[in-house]
Chains A and B, each alone.
Chain A
Amino acid sequence: MNTPPKAIADTSTFLDDRLGAGRFLKRNLRKVFPDHWSFLLGEIALYSFIILLLTGTFLTLWFKPSMGEVTYSGSYQPLVGVRMSEAYASALNISFDVRGGLLIRQIHHWAALLFVAGMTVHMLRVFFTGAYRKPRELNWLIGVGLLTLALLEGLTGYSLPDDLLSGAGLRITEGVMMAIPIVGTYITFFLFGGEYPGHDVISRFFTIHILLIPGILLALISAHMILMWVQKHTQMPGTGRAETNVVGAPFYPAFMAKAGAFFLFTFAVIALLGTFAQINPIWLFGPYTPADISAGSQPDFYMGFLEGALRLMPSWEINFWGHTVALSVLIPALVPMGIIMTGLALYPFAEQWITGDRREHHIADRPRNNPHRTAIGISGIAFYGILWLLGANDEISANFKVSLYSTTIFGRFAIFIGPAIAYLIAYRICIGLQRKDAEVLSHGVESGVIKRMPNGEYIEVHTPAAQDIADHMRGKELIPVIESGVDGEGIPPKSARTALGRLRAKMSEAYGTDRVPFDGDGHAHDAGHHEEEHAAVGSGGDHKQLH
């Protein structure tokens, strides 16, 4: 079979004659993709998005984004005769009177949760491996934008069925918007078309949810993929892998098949959840009215950290000259989100400033090899996690018989102490793991072979680590430290003379200093050698541009 089948050959010729697609394919069919399970995490989000588009389109065929009042007369008996909005009635109709409607609704909702969860784990992987470093900062920023948009997309979608639970979320959204100084009431009246809840918000959210945000998401996701494609994926350190190459399987056929299989796995897991785990049972909540609420009213998980922040806050409010600033709303609504999103967006640039590292990086760091970064990341996870946990404190209190206020008071302390403890623990673990690597490289691994020595002593024979494992460990790259020391005449470099410069130099030293250096044989060795290595790093590449 030395010629492709006629059908394929003819089609290819037809297309190439018109598009010149051959040139693109020539370059890209055998594009190499590195293999690591963590590189597929972002695909969870990508495929969830595709599933969201497909199932979402299905749902729009029956959903009526209207707040007009109707009296329900569908299949769900306990609500027959109840007045409700058309939106809620049509969502019930999809659930009980359209075959497969409930399944698709549930798949849509589960896919939404996995979309955000997938983005989160993908982002954590990128963060902990330093894959946001030059040249990928722009893609990182696109990612932060995608995450923010996904939260908005989730919020608008959650509100559409107009059930009692989603209405509670909408009410909180309104309360938070009202608290915005100066323009809050205006924004609220514009969004809701007057006083809350008005008659417009569902149809407006519908447009935002199915057209505006998905459109932007689609564009940004495309940009995200194109940049990834052009810049080529990062790879883990290992045998034969260098900053100047990428080792792995070609796009066609291997990576294509793997990606296809993973899409199907994602779809399968979401379908399994949609079949066997009930999500958002709107028929149990009842129609929305601003007069009622259920115990345990919660947002979807990705909004949980904001909910937790609102619950933690003491009752601070400022009144002056006839105006009100509701700190007990504004601080929790803006500060945690601000810290997390701004922190994420700025991190690559802050790190560059601290390390003075302007080089391109294509080898992923193992998290242990940049202990401060990893500790900062874990600290951020602790911050987010505590807020998230506190967002469910009523359920924790009810189901584990803990006093409600105790959980809140615990949270008020934990939000400050938790991240600090997490930082210290993560840092120590990283250093410990580095030591273990150094030990493996110098002494080898336990072979499982027990030997009795002539004197009767038993020892376990150590053998050198396998080549690929050793290469993986030796892939540790030193973090550059900006030059701050005094020169021969006792004068510090210009950049380190100001207070900011001195701070930067100090941070750089703390951030970059290698606590567990390996030498060629993997022996941990003294600081003298270590200085030399720094000198080597400092003298290479663009490093000297800094001074």
Chain B
Amino acid sequence: MTDNHIDQPESRVPARVIGTPSSNGPILSGDNRREAGAAFLADEDVHEVKGVPGVVYQDPASARRAERLVALLFTITFLAGAAFIAAYVAFQVGTIDKTAVSNYALGGTLSVALLSLASGITLWVRRIMPKYYLVQERHPMASDSATREYVKETFLEGANESGFVKHKLLRRTLLLAAAPLGLAPLVLLKDLGPLPGTSLRHTVWGAPTKDGKPRRLVVEGTGQPIRAADFNSPGGILSVVPEGYEEDLNALAKATLILLKFRPEEIKSGTNLNWTHDGIVAYSKICTHVGCPAALYEQTTHHILCPCHQSTFDAADGAKVIFGPAARPLPQLPIGIDGEGYLVAKSDFNVPVGPSFWERGDAEAEAREKKA
């Protein structure tokens, strides 16, 4: 605690000298090792205490035996390292099987090299280097009171000298000057993205098509439109995307559907029958919890299960929530058929699809009111 003397600026070298041999002390080697050990114990800070043995040298014979083992391990590292380079040259990639071979060869040699080097060094420390039980003094972290006092005074003195305390106008205008500069980086971030507006309330199902006809439902992955008469097996499901947006991920993130085929008697009151066609019902595939595609469908129970957090919806009953964290049913899309018998969207969803957000409100209630 008394190490630092503020009135002696030269003492930037702390008086705490740790574990170094005195400057004219012997360098470790050969016969004078014991003496060297004693040298760092003699240091003012690192010393031997009662019951602690200090520096204990290994038995030279045992150390020589260990040396041979360590040398063997280092040699293995050398060989494995060389093998790694050889494996890089020898094994090409380009097919999955070749990649597997290359991975095993490179990784195997690398692992062996590292492992034996690590083991070698560990043995070196444990069996060749001395055992150390050195004791070093600790000092409280706090500076002594004289230092604290000095710093405090210097700080106040400097503040006064700078005029920052006395010149009010200087202080205030400096703060004023800093404010807009501090805000500038935040302002710059504004162009990171557009504002949400009402974009979360619409999907491309409501967007007009080129020829003004209703938008067709097409099969995800093939892009084929779906003839209602073909989707005729009760218990059937299809993952469906809007025609013209098959590759547009932004559109798909809201507009993907699951299309289900029921026997007419299976559909319950929660489902809007006007929005179905011949037992075919379309729900948003985007879970109302946090937006995963909810698409695990059990045709026997009509459960739609979201694989992320296991919200479960009853597809026969308007996709109402029967288990899990989702708070709202999957929105139903009004569908019908066009002149050629293909399934089309009659309009957009009447509520926002996907996860809840602050501006959403109780869109379902609003939709009901509008209808009534």
A and B pair up? yes
- Chain A interface residues (CB < 8 Å from chain B): 1-4, 23, 25-32, 69, 75-77, 83, 95-103, 106, 135, 168, 171-172, 174-176, 178-186, 188-198, 200, 231-232, 239-240, 243-250, 253-254, 257-258, 260-262, 264-265, 267-268, 271-272, 274-276, 288-297, 307, 310-317, 319, 321-326, 328-329, 332, 360, 362, 393-394, 404-405, 408, 467, 471
> Which residues from B are CB-within-8-Å of A197?
249-250, 253
Q: When chains A and B are docked, how far (Å) is the Cα of A310 from the Cα of B189? A: 31
- B208 touches A (CB below 8 Å): no
Indicate the member of B291, B296, B323 with the most A CB atoms within 10 Å: B291
Query: Do B193 and A172 touch (CB < 8 A)?
Result: no
Q: When chains A and B are docked, how far (Å) is the Cα of A176 from the Cα of B356? A: 9
Query: Do B327 and A315 touch (CB < 8 A)?
Result: yes
Interface size class of B (residues with CB under 8 A): 35 or more
Query: Do B307 and A328 touch (CB < 8 A)?
Result: no
Query: Do A264 and B134 touch (CB < 8 A)?
Result: no
Instruction: From the candidates A103, A246, A332, name the one contacting B103 in the complex (CB within 8 A).
Output: A103
> Which residues from B are CB-within-8-Å of A100?
88, 102, 106
- B122 touches A (CB below 8 Å): yes
> Which residues from A are CB-within-8-Å of B138?
232, 243-246, 362
Instruction: From the candidates B91, B110, B253, B324, name the one contacting A315 in the complex (CB within 8 A).
Output: B324
Bitwise interface map of B from 79 to 110 toward A, beta carbon under 8 Å scored 1, else 0: 00000000010011111100100111011101
Bitwise interface map of B from 185 to 206 toward A, beta carbon under 8 Å scored 1, else 0: 0000100111110011000000
Q: When chains A and B are docked, how far (Å) is the Cα of A70 from the Cα of B5? A: 69
Query: Do B256 and A27 touch (CB < 8 A)?
Result: no
CB distance from B31 to the nearest CB of A (A): 11
Query: Do A171 and B290 touch (CB < 8 A)?
Result: yes
Q: When chains A and B are docked, how far (Å) is the Cα of A257 from the Cα of B292? A: 50
Q: When chains A and B are docked, how far (Å) is the Cα of A186 from the Cα of B20? A: 60
> Which residues from A are CB-within-8-Å of B349?
none
A-B contact pairs, 10 of them (CB 8 A): A75-B94, A99-B91, A194-B194, A257-B129, A261-B122, A264-B115, A291-B239, A293-B295, A313-B325, A314-B325
CB distance from B1 to the nearest CB of A (A): 11
- Chain B interface residues (CB < 8 Å from chain A): 13-14, 16-20, 26-27, 29-30, 40, 43, 46, 49-52, 88, 91-96, 99, 102-104, 106-108, 110-111, 114-115, 117-119, 121-122, 124-125, 129-130, 132-138, 140-141, 189, 192-196, 199-200, 220, 239, 241, 247, 249-250, 252-254, 256, 285-286, 289-293, 295-296, 307-311, 321, 323-328, 354-362, 365
Contacts A172-B290, A239-B52, A254-B125 hold; do A32 and B19 have CB atoms under 8 A apart?
Answer: yes
Query: Do B107 and A324 touch (CB < 8 A)?
Result: no
Query: Do B134 and A29 touch (CB < 8 A)?
Result: no
> Which residues from B are CB-within-8-Å of A297?
292, 307-308
Instruction: From the candidates A231, A291, A317, name the one contacting B328 in the complex (CB within 8 A).
Output: A317
Query: Do A293 and B124 touch (CB < 8 A)?
Result: no
Query: Do B195 and A186 touch (CB < 8 A)?
Result: yes
> Which residues from A are CB-within-8-Å of B357?
178-179, 184-185, 188, 324, 326
Q: When chains A and B are docked, how far (Å) is the Cα of A171 from the Cα of B309? A: 12
CB distance from A285 to the nearest CB of B (A): 13
Query: Do B103 and A264 touch (CB < 8 A)?
Result: no
> Which residues from A are CB-within-8-Å of B104?
275
Query: Do B50 and A240 touch (CB < 8 A)?
Result: yes
Contacts A176-B290, A240-B133, A323-B361 hold; do A189 and B194 have CB atoms under 8 A apart?
Answer: yes
Contacts A83-B247, A245-B137 hold; do A324 and B199 have CB atoms under 8 A apart?
Answer: no
Query: Do A103 and B117 touch (CB < 8 A)?
Result: no
Query: Do A3 and B27 touch (CB < 8 A)?
Result: yes
Main SS of the interface on chain B? loop
> Which residues from A are CB-within-8-Å of B134?
30, 32, 247-250
16 further contact pairs, Cβ within 8 A, besides A295-B307, A313-B325: A1-B27, A75-B94, A76-B96, A168-B308, A171-B291, A174-B291, A189-B195, A240-B133, A258-B122, A258-B125, A275-B106, A292-B220, A292-B293, A326-B327, A328-B289, A394-B307
> Which residues from A are CB-within-8-Å of B92?
99
> Which residues from A are CB-within-8-Å of B27?
1-4
Q: When chains A and B are docked, how far (Å) is the Cα of A232 from the Cα of B134? A: 14
> Which residues from A are CB-within-8-Å of B321?
315
Query: Do A175 and B18 touch (CB < 8 A)?
Result: no
CB distance from B212 to the nearest CB of A (A): 25
Q: When chains A and B are docked, how far (Å) is the Cα of A310 from the Cα of B29? A: 64
Query: Do A196 and B253 touch (CB < 8 A)?
Result: yes
Query: Do A324 and B325 touch (CB < 8 A)?
Result: no
Contacts A28-B18, A295-B307 hold; do A96 and B358 have CB atoms under 8 A apart?
Answer: no
CB distance from A321 to the nearest CB of B (A): 8
Instruction: From the candidates A97, A103, A178, A275, name the one contacting B355 in the complex (CB within 8 A).
Output: A178
Q: When chains A and B are docked, how far (Å) is the Cα of A183 from the Cα of B30? A: 72
Instruction: From the candidates A98, A184, A240, A323, name the one contacting B49 in the complex (CB within 8 A).
Output: A240
Query: Do B17 and A27 touch (CB < 8 A)?
Result: yes
Q: When chains A and B are docked, how far (Å) is the Cα of A467 from the Cα of B53? A: 13
Q: When chains A and B are docked, how far (Å) is the Cα of A245 from the Cα of B135? A: 6
Contacts A258-B125, A276-B107 hold; do A291 and B135 have CB atoms under 8 A apart?
Answer: no
Contacts A171-B292, A310-B309 hold; do A240 and B220 have CB atoms under 8 A apart?
Answer: no
> Which residues from A are CB-within-8-Å of B199?
195
Query: Do A319 and B361 touch (CB < 8 A)?
Result: yes
CB distance from A227 to the nearest CB of B (A): 10
Instruction: From the candidates B106, B289, B292, name the one contacting A329 in the complex (CB within 8 A).
Output: B289
CB distance from B169 to the nearest CB of A (A): 37
Query: Do A103 and B107 touch (CB < 8 A)?
Result: yes
CB distance from B171 to the nearest CB of A (A): 30
CB distance from B23 to the nearest CB of A (A): 9
Query: Do B253 and A290 touch (CB < 8 A)?
Result: yes
Q: Which residue of A lies closest to B114 (CB)?
A: A268
Contacts A75-B95, A99-B88, A274-B107 hold; do A248 and B252 have CB atoms under 8 A apart?
Answer: no
Instruction: From the candidates A27, A95, A405, name the one contacting B14 in the complex (CB within 8 A).
Output: A27
> Which residues from A are CB-within-8-Å of B195?
186, 189
Instruction: From the candidates B200, B254, B325, name the one contacting A328 in the complex (CB within 8 A).
Output: B325
Q: When chains A and B are docked, how far (Å) is the Cα of A329 from the Cα of B326? A: 9
Instruction: From the candidates B132, B241, B250, B308, name the one contacting A198 in the complex (CB within 8 A).
Output: B250
Contacts A75-B95, A178-B357, A257-B125 hold; do A311 and B111 have CB atoms under 8 A apart?
Answer: no
CB distance from B113 to the nearest CB of A (A): 8
* 10 closest Cβ pairs, A-B complex: A30-B19, A175-B290, A275-B107, A264-B118, A317-B327, A268-B114, A290-B253, A326-B356, A240-B52, A322-B361
> Which residues from A are CB-within-8-Å of B96?
75-77, 96
> Which residues from A are CB-within-8-Å of B308?
168, 172, 293, 297, 310
Q: When chains A and B are docked, how far (Å) is the Cα of A32 from the Cα of B138? A: 10
> Which residues from A are CB-within-8-Å of B133?
240, 247-248
Query: Do A95 and B99 touch (CB < 8 A)?
Result: yes
CB distance from A75 to the nearest CB of B (A): 5
Query: Do B111 and A271 touch (CB < 8 A)?
Result: yes
Instruction: From the candidates A172, A240, A243, A290, name the one contacting B135 in the complex (CB within 8 A).
Output: A240
Q: When chains A and B are docked, how far (Å) is the Cα of A474 from the Cα of B361? A: 64
Q: When chains A and B are docked, how far (Å) is the Cα of A102 from the Cα of B97? A: 13
Contacts A172-B308, A193-B192 hold; do A248 and B132 have CB atoms under 8 A apart?
Answer: yes
Q: Which residue of B lies closest to A232 (CB)?
A: B138
Q: Which residue of A lies closest to B19 (CB)?
A: A30
Query: Do A293 and B132 touch (CB < 8 A)?
Result: no
> Which residues from B are CB-within-8-Å of A319?
361-362, 365
Q: Which residue of A lies closest to B102 (CB)?
A: A99
Contacts A171-B292, A172-B292 hold; do A184 and B252 have CB atoms under 8 A apart?
Answer: no
Contacts A27-B14, A264-B117 hold; do A135 and B141 have CB atoms under 8 A apart?
Answer: yes
